[in-house]
Every structure is written in structure tokens, then in C-alpha cells.
């Protein structure tokens, strides 16, 4: 039996005024786990195009996708699920709407928050290295395979 291929996803690291944009990671708030906005890559669309689309769907924001800053892998041993997340630094476009109320077109994200590093460290989030990547000055970092938790 051939093992399943890992799912590839893209995520946006958007920091403004010392705060990182985070969204809930589970449909209907099934878990308090937060993550950077983004999602699965669609075949035939570039990584930046996928990411810009996902951010708009999940937050209503239009972004410019910059350089990669983090590669993360996680898995769920029970199900065999394995995902590779590619994180890119992004900036909100000057003419982007900034909705205070929005609806995720996929009906998955129901909460978004702008968090300082201290606030981020106080809540459940993945990957563990996101704070260092978002608020640090290092180049691209790699966070090896970690277990997915709800």
C-alpha cells in the first residue's frame, strides 16, 4: 500500500503595529487552536496566488505576498495526516478593505485576532515556532515535523 502524499499549504505572516494576524484553525470553533491565515494549495496556481486568495477568503484582506520565512511540517499519527506549511511574509495592500465583520467563504474561520508576541504565547497556536518567525529577524527557518494537537 502506497502512503498518502503530504498536503501542501501556504500561510501568511502579517505583522502590523507589533501584532500578528491569527485565525482559528478548526471549523465552527471546534478547537481554540489559532494559526496564520492560509490554506491548501490548488494545482495550477502559484504559491503566492494561492496565498493571496486564501487570505482574502479567510479575512477579507488583500495582500502582497513577499519572501518565505518559515517551513513547518505537522502530522496526526492516528490518521496518517501530514501537512507541509510554507509561510510567507505578507503586507496588506494600501487599498485593501479592512472589514470589521466578515464571513469566511468556506465557513471555516470564525475568529481572527491581532496578537502581540506575549498574547500569542498565551494561547494555543501552531506551529510552535511561529512567534520567532513572525517577530524575529532571521531568514527562512525550518520547524521539523511536530504532532498536530487539537
- Report domain extents, the chain: 7-94+105-147
For the chain, give the mean pLDDT.
88
Rounded to an integer, the average pLDDT of 36-55 is 95
Among 45-49, 68-72, 106-110, 132-136, the minimum mean pLDDT is found in: 106-110
The answer on pLDDT for 83 being more than 70 is yes
Q: Beta-carbon neighbour count of residue 85 at 10 Å?
A: 22
Say how far apart CA 47 and CA 11 lie, in whole Å: 10
Q: Which fold has domain 7-94+105-147?
A: Nucleoside Triphosphate Pyrophosphohydrolase (3.90.79)
The residues, any chain, with a CB within 8 Å of residue 100's CB and separated by 6 or more, are none
- Find out whether 55 and 21 touch, Cβ atoms under 8 Å: no
Give the single-character DSSP code of 5.
Answer: P
pLDDT tens-place string over residues 11-36:
999 999 999 999 997 777 678 889 99
Q: Does the CA dihedral 100-112-142-77 come out positive or negative?
A: negative
For the chain, give the percent of residues with pLDDT over 90. Answer: 59
Query: Predicted confidence band at 105 (pLDDT cuts at 50, 70, 90)?
Result: confident
Is residue 148 scored above 70 in pLDDT?
no
Task: DSSP for 46-102, please give it.
Answer: -HHHHHHHHHHHHHS--EEEEEEEEEEEEEETTTTEEEEEEEEEEEE-TT----SS-
Neighbours of 76 (CB within 10 A): 13
Whether pLDDT at 74 is above 90: no
Q: In this structure, are residues 12 and 88 in contact, taking their beta carbons and an 8 Å threshold? A: yes
pTM, two decimal places: 0.88
Task: Give the C-alpha distances (Å, rounded to integers) separating 70 from 28, 87, 91, 106, 129.
Answer: 27, 5, 16, 25, 9
Amino acid at each position: 500500500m502506497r502512503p498518502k502524499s503530504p498536503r501542501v499549504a501556504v500561510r501568511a505572516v502579517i505583522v502590523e503595529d507589533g501584532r500578528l494576524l491569527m485565525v482559528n484553525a478548526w471549523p465552527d470553533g471546534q478547537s481554540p487552536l489559532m494559526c496564520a491565515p492560509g490554506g491548501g494549495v490548488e494545482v495550477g496556481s502559484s504559491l503566492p496566488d494561492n496565498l493571496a486568495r486564501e487570505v482574502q477568503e479567510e479575512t477579507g484582506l488583500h495582500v502582497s505576498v513577499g519572501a518565505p520565512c518559515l517551513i513547518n511540517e505537522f502530522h496526526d499519527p492516528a490518521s496518517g495526516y501530514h501537512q507541509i506549511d510554507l509561510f510567507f511574509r505578507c503586507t496588506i495592500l494600501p487599498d485593501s478593505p479592512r472589514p470589521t465583520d466578515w464571513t469566511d467563504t468556506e465557513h471555516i474561520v470564525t475568529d481572527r485576532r491581532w496578537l502581540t508576541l506575549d498574547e500569542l504565547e498565551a494561547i494555543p497556536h501552531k506551529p510552535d515556532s511561529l512567534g520567532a518567525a513572525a517577530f524575529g529577524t532571521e531568514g527562512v527557518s525550518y520547524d521539523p515535523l511536530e504532532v498536530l494537537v487539537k
